[in-house]
A and B are shown apart, each in its own frame.
Chain A
Amino acid sequence: MGNDVLVLAEHRNGRLSDVTFELVGKARELADRGGGRVLAVLLGETSLAHELGVADVVLCSEDPAVATYNAQAYERAMVHVVERQQPRLVLTSTTTVGMDVSTALSVHWPAPLASYVVDVRRDGEDLAVTCRAYGGKLLAEVALTGPRAICAVIAGCFPAADGRSEVAGRSEVAGQVELLDLEGVFDGLGVSVAQVVEPEKGDVDITAADLLVSVGRGIGSRENLEVVQELADALGAPLAASRPLIDQGWLPKARQVGKSGLTVRPKVYLALGISGAPEHLEGMQHAETVIACNTDPKAPIFDVATYGTTVDLFDLTDELVKRVQE
């Protein structure tokens, strides 16, 4: 059994995602301690292989089946690769791609899987893993035993710089690039991609604003949006929201902050009635200053906020509007 650590690289619009570098950096650390190699699997965009110099080997495919993300094709390719490489550990993210692939690998390879991982360490023969659980209210300490394992890691938990070759002091071409032979792997696929729809550009660009007013489930009903919109208007700030409000159709998708929405880095992020689910925190934790208002003093948003208050959000909104309009 090897000590290799294998990473599934993710890319979008011709760029490797930050989480890929985070995973490659972590893989390097784990592989170096265990005397193994770092293998990266890059499907669809072979031209990006040179950016993965921190890996020892980049396994690529330009097969048309993986030209755009196809859940079943990715799954088949990854099962094919891990069965041949037999790594000690596979690292994916917890994005859509990571969820599809990590679960399927766990059944087909097979290997134990830990998801929502925020930390992974070697612990003798085992892996000691910390996972975020119950909406971020608890952490789970998990031991993955046996000769192999899979971890699906939350984006933003490890430094991306460790995986970037220019920073990590590795030559860009250090990694060996190998083309995968996937002959027959995609025969009889039951999934085909009919269309790729890019998100509509919104009327406002929430990623460009210095000040964002962002609302969550705590506002209760759609009618209450007006109150918060009034504050946003008074402050000259765009109104953003967390996932539940977007799913209800209360605000357009272009206003969504978080994992499946946009990542924002304003000078001030005013979070009203947002509890701070991990998926939301991923999109705003790098704001310069976060001011959070939530009636639950234990809401996870207060762990990333700079300033917090548990006063009623409508009382606060009224008071703020009064002061700003003065």
Chain B
Amino acid sequence: MRIVVAVKQIPDLVEELELTADGTDVDRELLKMVVNEFDDQALEEGLCLKEAGDAELVVVALDEPDVDQTLHAALAKGADAAIKLTGALTGWIDSHRRAALLASWLSGQSFDLVLTGVQAADDLDGQLPGLLGAQLEVPHISVAVRVEAEDGMAKVWQELAGGTVVVDEVRLPAVIGVQAARQAPRYVSISRIRQAQQSGGITEVEVQAAELGTEQFALRRLVAPEAAGHAEMLAGGAGEVADRIVELLRAKGLVRS
């Protein structure tokens, strides 16, 4: 079995999101980029699948800022190969184009399963798993919380609203959008990542994607939301804040007076 895990970089949301001068994108040169957390879950589920059976795991990403670090980490965790798709890739890459670029590479590959994060913080024109599955014309399931596979079939645990889980039997190949792996993503030490880095291991492949109708989606500008309201900030240190909170709870009859 051949498993492909598609990962991408997104701005670290812990940091302040600076915008470019024209306001249509976040400032990618300034921002720290990290792996999409759901892609990390997809990688972990892929690694679990690989360990459970006889599978080859290939991790693939577009050539985006700081992506080498992510690919090296994936190799250090146990991926068999890392592919970096290069081309004219700058700025925000919408999901339709991302799917087309990945599909273009995948069309020359054999694969049974494509695992990727269920969503990302910047997938404004839709989530990658459904777009990629539809473009490849293979089944796709999003919000997976467990995947098992053998003999051309996968069992996919798909979570619906309210926590109901549908267990699907899916004919392979298929694209699965992973919400959470069966276990927390594994830790890999910096020294192991360095080792992976020193032994090379990233294969660059230039891709060209067919033109897609994404020009009908025009991102005019990004703005900071004007909150309808904002919390009244409680002044003082922890002690004073605690006094206020206890007072509030008491007023609502939620702590004994």
Known: A306-B231, A309-B234. A191 touches B139 (CB 8 A): yes
Does chain A have a CB within 8 A of B46? Answer: no
The answer on a CB contact under 8 Å between A261 and B163 is yes
Residues in chain B near residue A296, CB distance under 8 A = 14
Residues in chain B near residue A199, CB distance under 8 A = 162-165
Complex formed: what's the CA distance from A314 to B231 in Å?
20
Chain B nearest Cβ from A19, distance in angstroms:
8
The answer on a CB contact under 8 Å between A324 and B246 is yes
Chain A nearest Cβ from B85, distance in angstroms:
20
Residues in chain B near residue A291, CB distance under 8 A = 245, 248
Complex formed: what's the CA distance from A304 to B168 in Å?
37
The answer on a CB contact under 8 Å between B233 and A309 is yes
List which A237-268 residues lie within 8 A (CB) of chain B: 237, 247-249, 253, 256, 259-262, 267-268
Chain A nearest Cβ from B212, distance in angstroms:
9
Q: Which chain A residue has the least Cβ–Cβ distance from B170?
A: A191
Chief secondary structure at chain B's binding surface: mixed
Chain B nearest Cβ from A80, distance in angstroms:
15
Q: Which of A116, A305, A319 contacts B239 (CB 8 A)?
A: A319
Q: Which of A97, A101, A316 contacts B241 (CB 8 A)?
A: A316
Chain B nearest Cβ from A122, distance in angstroms:
16
The answer on a CB contact under 8 Å between A12 and B126 is no
List which B232-257 residues lie within 8 A (CB) of chain A: 232-234, 237-239, 241-246, 248-249, 252, 254-255
B41-81 toward A: CB 8 Å interface, digit per residue (1/0)? Answer: 10000000000000000000000000000000000000000
The answer on a CB contact under 8 Å between A103 and B164 is no
The answer on a CB contact under 8 Å between B225 and A138 is yes
The answer on a CB contact under 8 Å between B223 and A139 is yes
Complex formed: what's the CA distance from A256 to B159 in Å?
13
The answer on a CB contact under 8 Å between A323 and B242 is yes
Does chain B have a CB within 8 A of A235? Answer: yes
B83-126 toward A: CB 8 Å interface, digit per residue (1/0)? Answer: 00000000000011001000000000000000000110111111
Of the candidates B160, B219, B243, the one having the most CB atoms from chain A within 10 angstroms of its own CB is B160
Does chain A have a CB within 8 A of B166? Answer: yes
Complex formed: what's the CA distance from A248 to B170 in Å?
26
Q: Which chain A residue has the least Cβ–Cβ distance from B165?
A: A197
Does chain A have a CB within 8 A of B174? Answer: yes
Chain B nearest Cβ from A179, distance in angstroms:
25
Q: Which of A139, A195, A197, A268 contacts B254 (CB 8 A)?
A: A268
The answer on a CB contact under 8 Å between A303 and B227 is yes
The answer on a CB contact under 8 Å between A131 and B124 is yes
Chain A nearest Cβ from B80, distance in angstroms:
26
Complex formed: what's the CA distance from A97 to B119 in Å?
14
Complex formed: what's the CA distance from A253 to B164 in Å?
11
Complex formed: what's the CA distance from A22 to B136 in Å?
33
A277-314 toward B: CB 8 Å interface, digit per residue (1/0)? Answer: 00000000000111111001110101111111111100
The answer on a CB contact under 8 Å between A260 and B161 is yes
Known: A193-B168, A291-B245. A138 touches B222 (CB 8 A): yes
Residues in chain A near residue B174, CB distance under 8 A = 190
Complex formed: what's the CA distance from A172 to B94 in Å?
42
Please tell me which stretch of B1-9, B177-185, B197-205 contacts chain A, meaning at least 4 of its Cβ atoms lie within 8 angstroms of it.
B177-185
Complex formed: what's the CA distance from A136 to B222 in Å?
11
Beyond contacts A71-B168, A308-B233: 13 other A-B pairs, Cβ-Cβ < 8 A, are A12-B164, A100-B140, A103-B131, A103-B133, A113-B217, A137-B13, A138-B222, A141-B222, A146-B213, A196-B166, A300-B225, A306-B231, A308-B231
Give 8 closest A-B pairs by Cβ, nearest first. Answer: A103-B130, A308-B231, A319-B242, A107-B134, A199-B163, A303-B227, A315-B238, A190-B171
- Contact surface of B with A, Cβ cutoff 8 Å: 11, 13-14, 16-17, 26, 41, 95-96, 99, 118-119, 121-127, 129-131, 133-135, 138-143, 155, 157-171, 174, 177, 179-180, 183-184, 213-225, 227-234, 237-239, 241-246, 248-249, 252, 254-255
Q: Could you show 20 A-B contacts with beta carbons less than 8 Å apart? A: A71-B158, A75-B134, A106-B126, A107-B135, A112-B216, A116-B124, A133-B122, A134-B121, A141-B220, A144-B217, A146-B213, A149-B216, A194-B169, A197-B165, A247-B179, A253-B163, A288-B252, A303-B228, A303-B231, A308-B230
